[in-house]
Structure 1
Amino acid sequence: MKGIFKQKPKSPAELVRQTRELFVYVDVPSNSRDPKREDKMAELSRLLRELKSILYGTSDMEPVPEACAQLTQEFFKGNTLRLLIVCLPKLNLEARKDATQVVANLQRQQVNSRLIASEYLEANKDLLDHLITGFQDMDIALHYGAMLRDCIRHQSIARYVLESDSMKKFFDYIQLPNFDIASDAFASFKELMTRHKSTVADFLSQNYDWFFLEFNSKLLESGNYMTRRQAIKLLGDILMERSNSGVMVRYVSSKDHMRIMMNLLRESSKNIQMEAFHVFKLFVNNQNKPPEIISILVANKSKLIRLFTALKTDKDDETFEEDKSLVMKEIERLESNDRP
């Protein structure tokens, strides 16, 4: 009679509880003689894969909302997210990938119209600092970076990261020698600076001086081409966002900032030149240009006109040509008696 009756499938909540119990074996050293460890780690990997299947569905079945809600409630009720994040470095690569996808999906799950993930993270903000510090570890940086970007979908969590001491670390992580990690750090930084408009506007208004000092010196004036290219594009996106209008006026009133743009306009890279132009035009089109800005524009009038005359896009772009024409006309209009 043995084997006739199939074992009753475990509920999503039971699977989460079983996963949580297995995390105790993660802290057992990998060279331990404990014969159970290897089997338990394999079981943990299998369970993470099963949790992912419940949340995302399979090729044969769509995810079941009731099962997803049950899984989500148990996951956050039992502190499983903390265990998963802290123990991630000790999991194998496939388990890390599955764990990263589970965390991503949980950020979107609503239970009775509540985003439980957001509530949990607000009560456990130290986990965000843990994720950011993960950029220092080559093995887990990309997994932690992906988790971080999903967590900052929640506005309150993004606000915490922006206002935390960890925010300043991004300027160093973006310059890491490992290209993939540096790019991932920049992707997280860009998400922070563009997703939640009102929160970003408040942050920039309150942290203007140190933020742009770091942004200019470490990113726009970086010795790395890709860093400069990504940074000048992001700067344009930030300054041209309507909610950042006050920050934009302040930025384009600085002669030091304009000199940085003029240096980027002279780059050999067409991509950097084009992005620098889109920022530089804000200085020129400012209706209340400070005297020192006017003075620099007048002194460099002929050089700027030659530069913009030669600056062309690879494809016909009427908007760019119109913008360029207006900028050139405004520069030509300025006379020496406009100087202070």
Structure 2
Amino acid sequence: MSFLGFRPKPADYVKSLSTALHLIAANKDAKAVEKGVKDSAKAINSLKILLYGDAENEPSKDALPQIVNEIITTDTLTLMMTYLESLEFEARKNCTTVFNALVHREPTNELVIRHILEHPEIIRVMLVDFQKSKIALSLGSMFRECIRSQALAKLAIEMPEFSYLFRYVELENFELASDAFTSFKDILTRHKQMVSEYLQTHYNSFFDNYAALLSSANYATRRQSVKLLSDLLFDRPNYFTMMRYIGDTANLRRIMTLLRDPSKAIQFEAFHVFKVFVMNPEKPEQIVEVLRKNKEKLIPFLTEFQNDRTEDKQFIEEKGLLLEEIKKL
């Protein structure tokens, strides 16, 4: 990392990276772009070595504050996000590693988080460009590191582009869809009070989109979505959202459909949501009416429902309570 006795300062590598990324951005000619790509790779690798070390170098204890200061001064994070796709595979991996370290490592991470809050385009690019398979997994990793911060999670979930995640979880590429769902679940379950407020404020738009996931033709999407729905409704801070959800007959019919899904795993997850509709002591009349109309079908259906779960005492008890409640209607 030195040349003829001269050892660049950590900030110098950030400046080199910024200069190289600007070369790519300018896109004047193929040679200039190629130089930008190569120089970016060298600079980002040097930053990674400073932060993590390698076979020949120990991590630099003093590098982080200098790197963060220069990163913020030059707004290099925005450049990294914007031109990540132009970099070669190894450089993209190193960008992800360096970015995550900057967002995570104390005591300077608060400065980086504040910088991202002031430059929301960094998060927006992650949400918009996840559809690009070349960089999707890198963006997913960086996004999840960002939303460990409640402030950045709130920024992300309130962006219009957050709704793109509903599409990404149904991508044909299973690896990318799974990664997107990991991000989707993470942002909805990590900061419970913040999410509770979000769900109450954005109830209609969120659950309109969510309904499509529950009826998806994709098995993995349906299974993950009904399980996540159960987790969300049973989170104590989401009580008011749960009561609103289980008061809607369209939601009840949707869950009853999932009870008959070809997958026993999906049936079982749907059961845990269905029981809340039935056992609610303050069921709205319209919910009672739907259950009453389906009473003659529900009783024999539930009587035979997953009777092979002989070891699951809680399930057997809950199913018995549901049957008793439905018979009373």
- Same fold, judged at TM 0.5 (above): yes
1:317 maps onto 2:312 in alignment? yes
Residues 60/236 of structure 1: CA separation in 2 closer, same or farther (3 Å cut) = farther
1:290 maps onto 2:288 in alignment? no
Partner SS, residue 111 of structure 1: coil
Q: CA deviation at 1:145?
A: 2.2
Partner of 1:12: 10
Distance 2:308 2:93 in 1: 41
Contact 1:176–1:182 (CA<8 Å) still a contact in 2? yes
Q: CA deviation at 1:24?
A: 2.9
Distance 2:97 2:321 in 1: 48
Distance 2:173 2:236 in 1: 35
Give identity over the alignment, percent.
36
Partner SS, residue 278 of structure 2: helix
1:133 maps onto 2:120 in alignment? no
Distance 1:191 1:56 in 2: 26
Contact 2:53–2:59 (CA<8 Å) still a contact in 1? yes
Q: CA deviation at 1:146?
A: 2.0
Unaligned 5+ segments in structure 1 are 336-340
- What is the identity, as a one-letter code, of the residue corresponding to 1:139? K
Partner of 1:72: 68
Partner of 1:161: 156
Unaligned 5+ segments in structure 2 are none
Residues 326/50 of structure 1: CA separation in 2 closer, same or farther (3 Å cut) = farther
Partner of 2:100: 104
Distance 1:183 1:285 in 2: 33
Q: CA deviation at 1:115?
A: 0.8
Aligned Cα RMSD in Å?
A: 2.5
Distance 1:65 1:306 in 2: 68
Distance 1:170 1:12 in 2: 36
Contact 1:69–1:109 (CA<8 Å) still a contact in 2? no
Q: CA deviation at 1:8?
A: 3.7
After superposition, where does 1:61-210 map in structure 2 within 5 Å?
Answer: 63-111=59-107, 115-210=110-205
TM, length-normalised to structure 1:
0.87
Partner of 2:22: 24
Residues 181/39 of structure 1: CA separation in 2 closer, same or farther (3 Å cut) = same
For residue 278 of structure 1, the aligned residue among 269, 272, 278 is 272
Contact 2:13–2:44 (CA<8 Å) still a contact in 1? no
| Structure 1 moving runs of 4+ over 6 Å | 59-62
More deviation, 136-145/227-236: 136-145
Q: CA deviation at 1:144?
A: 1.8
For residue 253 of structure 2, the aligned residue among 251, 259, 274 is 259
Residues 70/111 of structure 1: CA separation in 2 closer, same or farther (3 Å cut) = farther
Distance 2:64 2:310 in 1: 48
TM, length-normalised to structure 2:
0.89
Q: CA deviation at 1:315?
A: 8.0
Residue correspondences, number: 326
Deviations 1:10-45 (A, max 9, x none): 3322222222222233246597245xx645533421
Distance 1:33 1:49 in 2: 21
- What is the identity, as a one-letter code, of the residue corresponding to 2:18? R
Distance 2:35 2:248 in 1: 63
